A and B are shown apart, each in its own frame.
Chain A
Amino acid sequence: MQRALTLAALALAIAFPIVAAPLDLDFYIGFASRVMIYAIAATSLNLILGYGGMVSFGHAAFFGTGAYVVAIAMTHGIDSLWASWPLAMAVSGVVALGIGAISLRTRGVYFIMITLAFAQMMFFVFIGLKAYGGEEGLNMPYRSLIGLGLNLKDDATFYYVVLALLTATVYLLRRLIDSRFGRVVQAIRENEARMETIGFSTYRYKLICFVIAGMVCGLAGALIANQTRYVNPNLMHWIVSGDMMIMIILGGLGYRFGGVLGAIVMLVLDEAISPYTTYSKIVIGFVLLAVVLFAPRGLAGLFDRKAARAAGSH
């Protein structure tokens, strides 16, 4: 049942750019790409937060890092995506390793505050980096080069690349959570002390999980830089971290498609209200408050027992 739904959604996503042109929906190809990029970012956060129980409030740091790496690489003449996108993932992974190594020594509210503080530190670092635009940010003259006779300048081509990467991300998440490593991470969320006393060095597993999530989020950052051809420090502002969290609480914590669903709901909601009011955030605020107080399992939790279980065990 779920498999059929997934395949149908995928087929729809593949067909979308083809039917968009005759239906005069071209504008939405770019919008859909943006949604999918945030879906990748939110899915990576879901790995550590939903499955791993690590309430990281600094995920945007990796998003911004990935974006800046691609933009900065371009100013130095590295414009092939085969070089700059893996580089973005690698650098984000290193940043995640540093932040994770320190903040995972702590837990509870300390962990939340520290991840938040380090992300904010990154934000200020890039504001201070006058060589790369400081507060103004950095323009990318063109999108990364893909070769193979393709050009990402074409929105539909870019859309398909993002779709492929999102599919890969969700598939990777699925393999990961069913693997030995994934079992360990989920069990740590449930009962970390016991994991230690049956012989797991939980710190190591959490750190690796944190780094994997950071790298995937860095990839999403590389994509958003290409999407807008512009990067600035606001990409790593803590509000962005908060938005990612909202996405997965809306979509469903510890639910495989939680990040995807959440990104769709959040961005479509935003897009739908913004023509009518400049105060779209207050609407999202009230929705979020209502969800947290009255439907803590998220939208997916309303339909899916597994997600409900995962969220309920927090």
Chain B
Amino acid sequence: MNQTHTTHPQPRQGSAPVLEVRALSKRFGGLVATDQVSLDVRVGEVHALIGPNGAGKTTLVHQLSGTLAPDAGQIVFRGNDITRLPAHARVLRGLVRSYQITSIFRQHSVLDNVALAVQARSGSSFRFWHAVRNEQTLFDEARTIVARVGLADRADVLAANLAHGEQRQLEVGLAVATRPAMLLLDEPMAGMGPEESERLIPLIDGLRQEVSILLIEHDMDAVFRLADRISVLVSGRVIATGTPEEIRANADVKRAYLGDELESATGGQA
């Protein structure tokens, strides 16, 4: 199972974090969704965030991406406080998310999907007269990204007509096309069979050269193969952060969450 495992380049010690989350809190009525969450993602690392359902992972992603305002705390991205920045402005600064529930442009072709994301950061879109389809460079770039996420031969297919796994690949492709400095991947393997996951893992692994990644994922096999460090979120609080080995050995984590899941991840088939 682990033969395809790639090397973990050790994150440079002491390198400045690209993302710092400081004591982020969000409550809905009496329910505390994120409780003083602090974590940091270093430049070039894959930092996985795991935890049981309802731990607050999605709420955290919403706050990081700007669709939900935290009640307290701070989000610092590349040295700037972005806590109050609207979602689209965060994207332009390089912090980009993907969705757990596929969110693509279903009535556009695969290529047009990606071209939209390329368009978002290359040149003004307040251009009203010239047809986009004549913009050679835009589509050349989009084609490169389509190929990179493994959809080259599906470029002209309507996104709605893709298989589920292919839609997940496009989902990641849309985020990649914005040329992020950091990716928030919200359960990229959601709903994927083992075979489909096998296609996505090398893709994410290949991204670590150019972007930092916060990976939220339930597939423990994928997490332990990809992550440089792992944080564990339980009931809205980070109970541990460390290397995969440290997390595996952590008694609190075992007790609160990992017990069974860890067995299956290390023992072979997830």
Interface residues of A (CB under 8 A from B): 175-176, 178-184, 187, 190-191, 193-202, 205, 208, 309-310, 313
B106 and A313 contact, CB distance less than 8 A: yes
Q: Say yes or no: A187 contacts B116, CB within 8 Å.
A: yes
When each residue 189-228 of chain B gets 1 if its CB lies under 8 Å from chain A and 0 otherwise, what string results? 0000000000000000000000000000000000000000
Taking the closest CB of chain B, its distance from the CB of A53, in whole angstroms, is: 12
Query: Which residues does chain A contribute within 8 Å of B262, judged by CB atoms?
Result: none
Please give me the 3 A-B residue pairs with the lowest Cβ-Cβ distance, nearest first.
A199-B91, A199-B120, A178-B131
7 pairs, A vs B, C-beta closer than 8 Å: A176-B128, A180-B123, A180-B124, A180-B126, A187-B108, A191-B103, A313-B107
List chain B residues, Cβ under 8 A from A201. 86, 88-89
When chains A and B are docked, how far (Å) is the Cα of A159 from the Cα of B108? 39
Q: Which DSSP category, helix, strand, loop or mixed, fits chain A's interface? A: helix
Q: Write the residues of chain B forming the contact surface with A, with a CB cutoff of 8 angstroms.
A: 65, 67, 86-89, 91-92, 96-97, 99, 103-108, 116-117, 119-121, 123-133, 135, 174-175, 177-178
Are the CB atoms of B107 and A178 closer together than 8 Å? no
- B residues within 8 A CB of A309? 107
Give A194 to B105 CA distance when docked, in angstroms: 8
Q: When the two chains form the complex, which single residue of B117, B128, B178 contacts A181, counting CB atoms closer than 8 Å?
A: B128
Residue of A191, A199, A309 with most chain B CB atoms under a 10 A cut-off:
A199
Tell whether, in the assembled complex, residue A199 and residue B121 are in contact, meaning their CB atoms are under 8 Å apart. Answer: yes
Given A191-B103, A313-B106, output 7 extra A-B contacts at Cβ < 8 Å. Answer: A178-B131, A179-B128, A181-B126, A183-B132, A195-B116, A196-B91, A197-B103
Q: Which of A175, A187, A313 contacts B129 (CB 8 A)?
A: A175
CA distance A208 to B126 in the complex (A): 9
Residues of A within 8 A of B127 (CB): 179-181
Task: Check A190 against B106 for contact (C-beta < 8 Å).
Answer: yes
By the criterion CB–CB under 8 Å, are A197 and B91 in contact? Answer: yes
In contact, A178 and B120 (Cβ under 8 angstroms): no
Is B103's CB under 8 angstroms from A193's CB?
yes
